[in-house]
Amino acid sequence: MKKGYLKFPELQDEESMKMLIQTMKDENNPFGINGAGAYESCDTYQQWLTREKKNHLGIELKDGFVPSTELLYIFNNKVIGCINIRHCLNDALLRHGGHIGYSIHPDYRRQGHATAMVQEALKFCQQWEINPVLITCHKDNVASRKTIEKCGGQFDSQCDDILRFWIGGKEK
């Protein structure tokens, strides 16, 4: 399979990102749009980009947020996925969100893209010394569970309807 790559979002990605978000909304995904850094809470793409740069640097974080890095997964010059890497965990993320949240375009699922995207994100985590890595998914999201397990996730526990997996050991 030809793989895509991760990159920081830029202005040139606006239309492609909007198409991804709209497709995810149209799908009525019961698990929401994960990994998009709360894209929908911003009025414009530029506002979202600015906020994500600040989140990456840990500047002016909203209550309950931690420093995080937003990356887009590009395949054939198109945004087909997004992934958010949280640099640390607070109590809420420890229970329900983990270090990594991600989504993949419905047309590109079951093709290995989610696994490739998470594997690339894990390299980023390693570079930033985020270890071990917690990834969570809804108990009914079988595809996400399989992706996490393919990437080395070891089941730890269930918190409400959320399954918790550690990669690279357990929380220190």
Share of the chain above pLDDT 90, in %: 75
What per-residue confidence (pLDDT) applies to 108? 93
The single-letter DSSP state of residue 94 is: I
Phi, psi of 22, deg, nearest 5: -65, -40
Q: What distances in angstroms separate CA 144 from CA 11, 117, 147, one per listed residue? A: 29, 12, 5
pLDDT bin (cut points 50, 70, 90) of residue 31 is low
What is the per-residue pLDDT across 120-141, written as a single tens digit (0 to 9) for each?
999 999 999 999 999 999 999 9
What per-residue confidence (pLDDT) applies to 71? 96
Q: How far is CA 122 from the centre of its chain?
A: 11
Q: Where are the domains of the chain?
A: 5-167
5-167 is classed in which CATH architecture?
A: 3-Layer(aba) Sandwich (3.40)
Residue 38 CB partners (closer than 8 Å, separation 6+): none
pLDDT bin (cut points 50, 70, 90) of residue 150 is very high
Q: What angle do CA 109, 110, 115 make, to 5 degrees?
A: 85
Q: What angle do CA 151, 144, 163 make, to 5 degrees?
A: 95
The single-letter DSSP state of residue 96 is: I
Range with lowest mean pLDDT among 26-30, 70-74, 129-133 = 26-30
Q: Please give the average per-residue pLDDT across 159-167, as a whole number.
A: 94
Q: How far is CA 80 from the centre of its chain?
A: 12
pLDDT bin (cut points 50, 70, 90) of residue 1 is low
Length of the chain: 172
